Amino acid sequence: MTTDQRVAALEGLGFSARQSRFLAAVALHSGYCLRRQYEAFAGIQYGKNVRQFLDGLVERRLADRFTGRADRGHVYHLHARALYRALGDEDNRNRRKGSAAQIARKLMLLDYVLSRPDAEWFATEAEKVHLFVQRFGVPPEALPRRMVRSSDEGTAAHARFFLHKLPMYLSGEPPVVHFVYLATEAGGEGLVGFLDDHACLLHRLRGWTVVVIGVKHSAGFDGCRSAFDAYVKRDPERERIADLTWYFAKRQIVEQGDLSQISVQDIGRLRALRQALATPRHEGLYASWLATGKLEVDSPVDEASTTPSGRLVVEPLPFAYEQFGSLPGVA
């Protein structure tokens, strides 16, 4: 669904266009919102209109209302299945209740999303896949993904994409993808993992930006800057080939039943690579490697790769989140 279609669907539930746009942003990017966020979005001060809108959400059982701390305002959680169904995403996980730290993270992300009202935002897995496959011509196997197995043993594993569940947007001319990353640790370890998960995708984009957001004076900003600088100096293609070579060798050992050569440290890496490389293309590469002993990676996917050109932007959020604990968004 497009943004206009979602707004029209929510208007059908009795909301104005402005209210519908706000609800769509909250539901898809956070699930939680604050009164100040609606006031800023709508450009109005607290009064009858704001109170009727938020109280109406609770009265219609579309949202729950609670306080994180006695001296702070209410938090609203959009949870009603009917509302998400109207948005075409009935099973969105934002309907679920979260811990205080999770709520803080969600409110931080929403604060940033609302601060960029003119950007073209992408929140759902389907939107992100369509963006890169249809608009940027990136093959699905280059997208960050994990193979997920159903609880039904008769159902085959399927790919899930963009499991970090972080928003992204297009900005600039020509449009450049901006990946939003929420800094919640003192160092840059999380950002390194995020970049590694997106490495194949980033390598196929001619330009991209990572926007690191967090609370003001966050200790994580310096760590993210250092981690990013180190990352862009790496050779992701060489590391990817090294991963393939290691994985194929260990996989062959496992399939031959010689598990004594597999260490405890190998198991986690082997499992992660097995999930990431469970594609027909990589199965073909593995079969060729078994037959020839050579890793033939000069496929069309690799030929189309471009030299990555990325940049880092740090955006401190102008709000405090102490009502959710001393380490908001971290624990």
pLDDT digits (tens, 9 = 90+) for 215-241: 887 778 999 999 999 888 876 667 778
pTM of the entire predicted model: 0.79
User: What top-level class would CATH report for the domain 3-97?
Assistant: mainly alpha
Q: How confident is the model at residue 127 (pLDDT cuts 50, 70, 90)?
A: very high
Give the least confident one: 6-10, 204-208, 273-277: 273-277
In the chain, where the domains are located: 3-97, 98-331
Neighbours of 291 (CB within 10 A): 8
Q: How confident is the model at residue 150 (pLDDT cuts 50, 70, 90)?
A: low
Separation between Cα atoms, residue 303 and residue 273, nearest integer Å = 22
pLDDT above 90 (res 167): yes
In whole angstroms, what separates CA 192 from the centre of its chain?
14
Q: How confident is the model at residue 154 (pLDDT cuts 50, 70, 90)?
A: low
Overall average pLDDT of the 281-301 stretch: 76
pLDDT at 152: 63
Q: How confident is the model at residue 307 (pLDDT cuts 50, 70, 90)?
A: very low
**What residues pair up with 317 in beta bridges, in sequence order?**
215
pLDDT digits (tens, 9 = 90+) for 69-103: 766 789 999 999 999 999 999 999 999 999 999 99
- Note whether 250 and 272 are within 8 A (CB): no
- Note whether 68 and 323 are within 8 A (CB): yes
Query: Cα angle at 33 between 30 and 39, to 5 degrees?
Result: 130
